[in-house]
Structure 1
Amino acid sequence: MSVRFTLAERQLKLLKHGLQSLQKIGNELLLEALPTRVVLRTINSSLSAYLSVTYSASFFDSYDVLDCTVVQAGLLIKHVLSVFRTQRVNNILFDLDTALCKATITLHCENGLVKSYRLPTMDSEILQATVDKQQFAVRLTAETPAIARLLSSFHAGLEEVTILALPEGSHRPVHVNSFIDPQKGHVDKSLYTSVQVEPIETFLTYVNSADEATDVTFNMKDFKAILSLCENLGTHIKLCFDSPGNPLVAEPHFPNVNGQDVDYEAELILSTLLESHAGAAAEEVAMDAGDRPAGIAAGSNLRTPGGIGADSPTGDAKVR
């Protein structure tokens, strides 16, 4: 059972960008080759971030899955990326044989050199995180540089941020706030930043079907993996989220495709904190509506983002 494909020029750059983003999430590359596509996946050690990058068969110059309908194997991402250190490559041949437990990558360079790399494969369980993002209340699309500028307002050492979406009709209904875990640092002595956003000025599209304020708190470092991928691909970015404990989904959004199929796609699924951290803004909305402000209960147990799995606090995110 094996898969073999070749690629050059534009495809090489796009594959490298995908691998670099995957490395920002995990160390192990899970490869699944089907007759119509190749899916590259990784998950971080805490099971709180899952990234998949898919390349259709038409993406490659040539593509064949031999002697089977699916090929699955694990590779170390650092081994695969080491191949791309060579400059001025005309084309690459990738040949993975599960029977021999190895992958061979052959580079044909502009200077006439032919370089071959043999990478050991590992037996790995192929994970698939499934989320029904169409059911999420909040969906937005934005130019990637706009989101990058928004996040640049927060200091580099910040681990997590909270996105708060207020009901329609609210003034500046999207807030992005620092989240400081009291178990990790002194809240009173930490820099706190809050950015209020008017969707029509910052986003390309914005939909919030929730009747009340909702928020999600997630890891900033993991989110930047998909942000950098969208920047390198030159695409917009799309976010979908719902409520605390449900995952946040981020993916590239391809502008001006005019209904044409794209030959690559990606999806990042992030766990979020179980507790709401909407803060004073949500309380004000609740008070305006005549409701009792929920706030954060005294002694709430704040937890880091949970794992992505059937028993995880993310609920809708399942790995199988």
Structure 2
Amino acid sequence: MKCLVAGGNVKVLGKAVHSLSRIGDELYLEPLEDGLSLRTVNSSRSAYACFLFSPLFFQLYQAATPGQDPPRCKILMKSFLSIFRSLVMLEKTVEKCCISINERSGHLVVQLHCKYGVRKTHNLSFQDCESLQAVFDPASCPHVLRAPAKVLGEAVLPFPLALAEVTLGIGRGRRVILRSYQDEDADSTVKAMVTEMSIGEEDFQQLQAQEGVAITFCLKEFRGLLSFAEPANLSLSIHFDTPGRPAIFAISDSLLDGHFVLATLLDPPPNSQDLLSLEVPRPVPQLQAHSTPHLDDFASDDIDSYMIAMETTVGSESSRTLPSVSLSPGLQPSCHSEEEDEAELSTVPGTPPPKKFRSLFFGSILGPEHSPLHPSPVLAEDSEGEG
């Protein structure tokens, strides 16, 4: 595998890595025929993110050596992020970025071609890995919101960086409400202030949702996608169902597609009157358990048929056939400066949501015939001992 990124696209690639680092500690890099895929999943398997860069994004793109299967590799997110840590440096000094896989030495080679003939070469150790893939279908979600990322970025600006979750809902007059969610177990001093933002229907390019529907999800991961989409003037689509079902956040461009799939809090949806009130409802989450001899923190009934983390075997011939998940048609800010963004990234990347969220992913081995429109049941249940 070899690809060459030139000009401003180097910074775009760097910003994508920054967004992914908010979710997972490991980066799955996989060259495909339709582009280079960068994926990650958090440790609790309740958040998944993927960027797919089209071959047109690169000055040169070669997925695999002729006659060989495309390689797949897994590397530490922190190691890859360190190369693109300073976005200002990428923009001012880096002219080209060459990414290649040296299978003989077992290294992912990232070479930065800087001004004045300076070259910086990074050799990152990687592991041959299974293909990380999530099966999801945005078309199956009854509720869809679509707006410029700048609108949503300004809406989350007033929320403190330490806020864990935010509730998104439709209030009276079909206004979109964003409100800070406070856990009933939170400290009383934290509960003292609740922030609520209201956005008119006219600011949305598409608003397909009835009044009273609402979901609660992690804010940090959402901000990660906004930090990528807002500078690029992209529109962000939010596909969601009932509370407890995953929400899909998607962006699309002629050169790339991005998807963030996040767990939502298993709370009953508040009515429209609640959405217009600053009094935050605090229903006790009722989590179901696996039908196993021990209780599990996450339910898996409808999620099993909706979201599956698929890991295919590296050695077999069928494992090289990737599942068919369309990332291109019709669809993945930070509202603070890049310096603040980099400071936040210095903390532990990817905040695993608390156990009041359902786990989205369950490990399984699926054949290549499965598609996101016809998901199959999980073949092996998740257990408490699995990460």
Compute the displacement of 1:264 (Å).
1.0
SS in 2 for 1:222: helix
Question: Could you say which residue in structure 2 is the equivalent of 1:17?
Answer: 15
Question: Could you say which residue in structure 2 is the equivalent of 1:45?
Answer: 43
Compute the displacement of 1:272 (Å).
0.4
Match of 1:31 among 15, 19, 29: 29
Question: Could you say which residue in structure 2 is the equivalent of 1:104?
Answer: 109
Question: Could you say which residue in structure 2 is the equivalent of 1:77?
Answer: 77
User: Would you say the 8 A contact 1:94–1:103 is kept in 2?
Assistant: yes
Match of 1:171 among 173, 192, 198: 173
Name whichever of 66-75 and 217-226 sits farther off. Answer: 66-75
Partners of 1:151 and 1:302 lie apart in 2 by 28
User: Would you say the 8 A contact 1:55–1:265 is kept in 2?
Assistant: yes
Instruction: Report the TM-score, using the length of structure 2 for normalisation.
Output: 0.67
Matched, 1:207 2:212: no
SS in 1 for 2:17: helix
User: Would you say the 8 A contact 1:172–1:196 is kept in 2?
Assistant: no
Partners of 2:73 and 2:185 lie apart in 1 by 39
Compute the displacement of 1:188 (Å).
8.4
Question: Could you say which residue in structure 2 is the equivalent of 1:241?
Answer: 240
% identical aligned pairs: 26
Task: For structure 1, list consecutive stretches of 5 or more residues without a partner in the other structure.
Answer: 255-261, 285-294
Partners of 1:312 and 1:15 lie apart in 2 by 37
The one-letter amino acid of 2:74's match is G
User: Would you say the 8 A contact 1:158–1:178 is kept in 2?
Assistant: yes
In proportion to residue count, which structure has more strand?
Answer: 1
Q: What does 1:247-262 align with in structure 2 at a 5 Å threshold?
A: 247-254=246-253, 262=254
The alpha-carbon distance between structure 1 residues 187 and 163, as it changes in their structure 2 partners (threshold 3 A), is farther
User: Would you say the 8 A contact 2:27–2:38 is kept in 1?
Assistant: yes
Per-residue CA deviations over 1:167-188 (Å, capped at 9, x if unaligned) read: xxx4244322221111343388
Name whichever of 134-143 and 187-196 sits farther off. Answer: 187-196
Match of 2:308 among 305, 312, 318: 318
Q: What does 1:1-320 align with in structure 2 at a 5 Å threshold?
A: 3-64=1-62, 65-66=64-65, 67-84=67-84, 88-165=93-170, 170-186=172-188, 189-200=191-202, 202-208=203-209, 210=210, 213-254=212-253, 262-278=254-270, 281=273, 300-301=285-286, 311=300, 314=303, 316-320=306-310
The one-letter amino acid of 1:274's match is L
Name whichever of 37-46 and 191-200 sits farther off. Answer: 191-200
- Superposition misfits of 4+ residues, deviation over 4 angstroms: 312-315
Paired positions, count: 290
Per-residue CA deviations over 1:209-232 (Å, capped at 9, x if unaligned) read: x5x732211001111111111013
Per-residue CA deviations over 1:109-155 (Å, capped at 9, x if unaligned) read: 22122332211002433221122211212111112121112112333
Task: For structure 2, list consecutive stretches of 5 or more residues without a partner in the other structure.
Answer: 289-295, 311-387
User: Would you say the 8 A contact 2:239–2:249 is kept in 1?
Assistant: yes
Instruction: Report the TM-score, using the length of structure 1 for normalisation.
Output: 0.80
Compute the displacement of 1:162 (Å).
1.1
SS in 2 for 1:164: strand
Q: CA RMSD, aligned part only?
A: 2.9
The alpha-carbon distance between structure 1 residues 120 and 312, as it changes in their structure 2 partners (threshold 3 A), is farther
